[in-house]
Amino acid sequence: RIAAVDGDAGSGVHAFLHVDAEGALAQARASDERRAAGAPLHALDGVPIAVKDVLATTGLPTTCGSRILEGWVPPYDATVVAKLKAAGLPILGKTNMDEFAMGSSTEHSAYGPTRNPWDLTRIPGGSGGGSAAAVAAYEAPLAIGTDTGGSIRQPGAVTGTVGVKPTYGAVSRYGLVALANSLDQVGPVTRTVLDSALLQDLIGGHDPRDSTSIPQELPSLVDAARQGATGDLTGLKVGVVKELSGDGWQPGVKARFDETVALLVDAGAEVVEVSCPNIVHAIAAYYLVLPAECSSNLAKFDAMRYGRRVLPEGVDAPSAEEVMRASRDAGFGDEVKRRIIIGTYALSSGYYDAYYGQAQKIRTLIARDFDAAFEQVDVLVSPTAPTTAFKLGEKLDDPLAMYAGDLATIPANLAGIPGISVPAGLADEDGLPVGFQVLAPAMADDRVYRVGAAVE
C-alpha cells in the first residue's frame, strides 16, 4: 500500500520519510512465530505502526523533518518505541513532519510536504501530517504522533482520523526530540477510538527516565472506550466552550459540531455552555512560551555533536563559531529561524518579564479557567480546528494565519490536560473531514475516550 500511494516529495501522499520494509517484515515474521508457538500475545502484537520522525529509533534515521539532522541514526530507542517493539508491533518507518514539529500543515518539512489523502492538493495538517495521512491513506493502521499545540489532534481532524493528546506526563518523553518540554506529549493516531485506547494503554505509564512522567496509573482506556461505545452517557455533564464555538468557524465545521453535540444529548448527557475567557489569549501566550523553550532546545544543534556540518565558504581555517553559523544557517528552515529569533528575544534581559513572564501568567489563568469549568462539567467540547484542510501553499507566507488555526487545540497543551479529536463527518461546502474535540481534566483521559467512542 505504501508503494502504491506514498510516492515521493513531488507526488503522492508522501507520508513517510523512511520506510523500513525489511525490518517490519522481520518483526512481522517473529510475531507469526510467537503466535504459532502459542505464546501470550499483546492485543496489538503483529499490527504494524508508523512513528513520527521526532522519536529516536535505533538503526532508523531520525531527522525531525530537518536538514540539520539529515543522516543521523540514533543509538537508542525512545521509551515509547521500546514499548512498541516489546509488544511486537512491527515498525513500518518514520513519518513526515514540519521541521522540529513547528507548523500546522507539514509544509515546513525540509523534505517536501505530505499531501492530504482526501485531496492531494490540500494539507494533511501538522506538524504530524505524515502520521495522520499514513493512517487516513491505509498505509498504516496505527501511528504515533506528538502534540505540543495540536499536532496530533489537528491533523486527525483534517484527515478524518482519531488523534489523542494524553495528559502531560502520562506518556514518556524520553527519546522524543523536544520542541517545547513543558508542552510536548506523545500520543496515538488511529482509525478508531478503541485503537487509540489500546495504543495509549500500551505506550503510557511511568518512566523513571523522564522526570516529568507521572508516577501514577491512569484508569484503563480500553474499558473507557468500550463503555462509551455502548452509546450511553447518562449522567455525564458536557460543557460547550463558548469562546470556541462562535463566529469565525467554517459553516460546515460548525454544522457537524452542532450535530455531534446533539448526539451527546441523545446519549443522555446534559449539555451546558461554559466560558473560559482567557483562552482567547492562548495563541499569544503559546507563541512566547514555545519559542522561548525551543530556542533553548535547538542550541544543541551546533554541528559538533550531531547531524550535518557545513563549512563556511572561502574560509581557510574556520573557527568553531563560523562552522556553527554556517551549519545552522544551512540546516534550519525559515520557520525554525523565526522561532529561535522570537524566543531569544523574549528571554533576553530586560524583556523577560514583559514577554515570557506575562505569557506564563496567562498560562496560569488558562489553567484556572479549565479548573473552574471542570467544577461544573465532566468534559469540554469544541470543534478541533476552525476550518477543513486548506490548500497547499495557501498560508505558507502568512505565519499568523497559520498560527490562528490552532486556537482550539493550544489551550490543552498550556494547561497539560488530555484531548481527543474524533471524526464528525464531512463539511457540506467542500466534502472534507471535520474533527470534534473532547477535553477532560488532567489524569481523566478515560473521559475523552468514553465520550469519543460514544460519538464516533
Active site members: 52, 127, 151
C-alpha pair distances (Å), 116 with each of 106, 242, 249, 423: 10, 30, 21, 15
Total residues interacting with ligand GLN, rule: CB under 6 A? 13
Ranges of H-type helices in 53-192: 79-86, 129-136, 153-159
- Name the residue with cell 484508569: 219
CB of 340 to ligand GLN, least distance (A): 13
Grid cell listed for 331: 540546516
Q: Which of 20, 77, 139, 147 binds ligand GLN (CB under 6 A)?
A: 147
Q: What is the distance between the alpha carbons of residues 150 and 404, in angstroms, rounded to a whole number?
A: 12
CB of 117 to ligand GLN, least distance (A): 20
CB of 438 to ligand GLN, least distance (A): 18
CB of 191 to ligand GLN, least distance (A): 21
Q: Does 387 bind ligand GLN (CB under 6 A)?
A: no
CB of 68 to ligand GLN, least distance (A): 17
Q: Which is nearer to ligand GLN, 290 or 432 (CB)?
A: 290
Which residue type does 71 have? G
Q: What is the distance between the alpha carbons of residues 388 and 350, in angstroms, rounded to a whole number?
A: 41
Q: Does 148 bind ligand GLN (CB under 6 A)?
A: yes
Binding mask 86-105 vs ligand GLN (x if CB under 6 A, - otherwise)? ---------------xxxx-
Q: Which of 151, 159, 250, 260 binds ligand GLN (CB under 6 A)?
A: 151
Q: Which is nearer to ligand GLN, 141 or 149 (CB)?
A: 149
Ranges of H-type helices in 152-278: 153-159, 193-203, 221-229, 251-266
On whether the CB atoms of residues 94 and 52 are closer than 8 A, the answer is: yes
Q: Which is nearer to ligand GLN, 160 or 419 (CB)?
A: 419
Binding mask 347-386 vs ligand GLN (x if CB under 6 A, - otherwise)? ----------------------------------------
Q: How far apart are the first and last CA of the chain?
A: 26
Give all strands of the β-sheet with 379-383 in edge-to-edge order: 16-19, 91-95, 49-52, 142-147, 185-190, 162-165, 419-426, 433-439, 379-383, 237-241, 270-274
Which positions lie near ligand GLN, rule CB under 6 A? Answer: 101-104, 127, 147-151, 179, 290, 406
